[in-house]
Structure 1
Amino acid sequence: MAKKTPTKQGYFVVLWEKDDRGQNKPFDAYNSPELLVVCVIDNQQKGVFIFPKVLLVQQKILSSQQTQGKMAFRVYPDWVVELNKTAQRTQTWQKNYFVDLSTDQVDEDRFKRLLSKSNC
């Protein structure tokens, strides 16, 4: 579940686990599931991001041999506007993995496609 924060646009997602020494570390690609589903609920607006693991590695969110990974990141649903350039770039790649559940016309085919492992 993504959390709204008072000072920045978008919604905050934490994504970490403890290592053998009890220290926080980013999730690693090797042990992560094929999909990460992030729910966003903000009053009447709600939706889900369905990210394939491959994409999270490409975006340097999951750690791998090539990247350190991140312990948190922000998501930007379509209804978040007036973003700075960095947030706009993030929203651009994220929008392909977002399903808005706030409308009466949820794109069920898109939802099913994103959940399909063949999309990974």
Structure 2
Amino acid sequence: FQTNKQTFRSRIAKKTPNKLGYFVVFWTKDNANKNRPFTFDESCDKLIIAVIDESQKGLFIFPKDVLAKKNIIANKDKKGKMAMRIYPSWEYNLNQTAFKTQKWQLNYFIDLTGNVDKVLLNNLLN
């Protein structure tokens, strides 16, 4: 969708039974109808990932330049990814790799479970 001259793509993350965190996919099809990662040029300005888990809910709002820097969307040097695991603030006891991932991801996360920080939400969307 598009609003205020920015484009957004949204996804819903799924809880996985055997691993902490949530899993989300995002890909497009190539000319041969095979799945492939998005490139920087075709990516929306922001990727919004919703996490809903019983009473807990939140949004990750990732700018595409961050996704490129983290090698999640493809560029001339990196293949990119078609999926990733995300770790909201309520995920604890993570292994070292997951904790490191959560640390950078939380800069783009807003917890919607209780009172919504409208200033943070506005900052993430703009």
How many aligned positions are there? 115
Aligned counterpart in structure 1 of residue 48 of structure 2, from 37, 47, 56: 37
The Cα of 1:81 is off from its aligned counterpart by: 0.4
Unaligned runs of 5+ in 1: none
| 1:113 pairs with 2:123 | yes
What per-residue deviation string (whole Å, max 9, x for no partner) do you get for residues 65-84 of structure 1? 12110011011000000000
The CA RMSD measured in Å over matched residues stands at 0.6
**Structure 1 length normalisation: TM-score?**
0.94
Is the partner of 2:84 in helix, strand or coil?
strand
Trace 1:41-80 onto structure 2 (pairs within 5 A).
41-80=52-91
The percent of aligned pairs where both chains have the same amino acid is 50
What per-residue deviation string (whole Å, max 9, x for no partner) do you get for residues 18-73 of structure 1? 10001110111110110000000000000000000000000110001121100110
Is the partner of 2:104 in helix, strand or coil?
helix
**Structure 2 length normalisation: TM-score?**
0.90
In 2, the alpha carbon distance for the partners of 1:66 and 1:114 equals 27
Unaligned runs of 5+ in 2: 1-11
| 1:15 pairs with 2:26 | yes
| Residue number in structure 2 paired with 1:82 | 93
| Residue number in structure 1 paired with 2:108 | 97
| Residue number in structure 2 paired with 1:3 | 14
